[in-house]
A and B are shown apart, each in its own frame.
Chain A
Amino acid sequence: MLVIVIILVSGLLLGRLLRKTSIPKNIGIAVNITLMLLLFALGVSVGSNDEVLRNFPIIGLDALILSLAAILGSIICGKFVYNKFFRHKSNK
């Protein structure tokens, strides 16, 4: 995690330095391409894991139920916090 924070901060500083150049405009495209690569890499990790592949039918449903529950629980609480503490008259 520390590595991630260091990289993020380095990027922020680098971005600050590159402000006046034309590089930042093209970064969005680079982000998209990298995201696509990351999702592919994720697929490769899953595909190369025999444990996951073998168990998928059996535990897939449990995983789906738990993840949906976790998401719903989080966003319902989040909605409460959002409405109560983060909405200003100027926001929508």
Chain B
Amino acid sequence: MKQSLIYLLLFIVGILLTIFVDLPEFLVASSFSKWVLYLLILLIGIQLGSGKNLFKAAKAFGGKIVLVPIATIIGTFAAVSLVSIFLPHRSLTDCLSVGAGFAYYSLSSVLITEARGAELGALALIANIMREFCVLIFAPLMVKYFGKLAPINAGGATTLDVTLPVILKYSGQDFLVISAFHGMFLDMSVMLFVPLFLSL
């Protein structure tokens, strides 16, 4: 939790510094966060590769592993549809498009901006950043009240990379395969569902 708050603080510092200070060009370039992400994934891979054997874990789960991303998809769409009733200025398909981002804020917001404009695109960006953020900060609480799959479901498409470390920390190392599979499955789902809802 303390670590999560440090992350939040750094995020805010990043925003504030960018607004008020003239940061060096390389920091502001979008490729900066991309490369840092790649570094993170490499380090996580090394950390996991040097640990115990993962293949036993994969076999142990079998076909039911698919139920995890399916639960995320159904849960997200159902909840977002329900909530769209209370947001009269946002159409059902607007809300579904945003929900279909599954925390994959970069791709989803770009797709949405191109189809529905910058306002909804910005909404998608913020909503999906928040989703990712909530997992980073509240993972321990999610595990406590909703079980070990909770941060994975909540994390959506980010469970392959950004939220993987916190998931492994609070749900356990055994959840690597489920988390990575879930992330991959949803990465593909974003590319399917966002354009689908935007076209309706």
Binding site for B on A (CB under 8 A): 1, 3-5, 7-19, 23-24, 27-28, 30-32, 34-49, 51-53, 55-56, 59-60, 62-83, 85-87
Contacts and interface: CB of A to CB of B under 8 A. Distances in A.
Contacts of B118: 51
Nearest to A11: B45
Given A18-B50, A83-B147, A59 B122 contact: yes
B129 interface: yes
Contacts of A27: 43, 46-47, 50
5 contacts: A30-B43, A37-B36, A64-B130, A74-B153, A79-B147
Given A11-B41, A14-B46, A15-B47, A75 B154 contact: yes
Interface of B: 3, 6-8, 10-19, 23, 27-28, 30, 32-33, 36-51, 54, 64, 67-68, 71-72, 74-80, 82-83, 86-87, 90, 95, 98-99, 102, 118-119, 121-123, 125-131, 134-136, 142, 146-150, 152-154, 156, 160-162, 165, 180, 184, 187-188
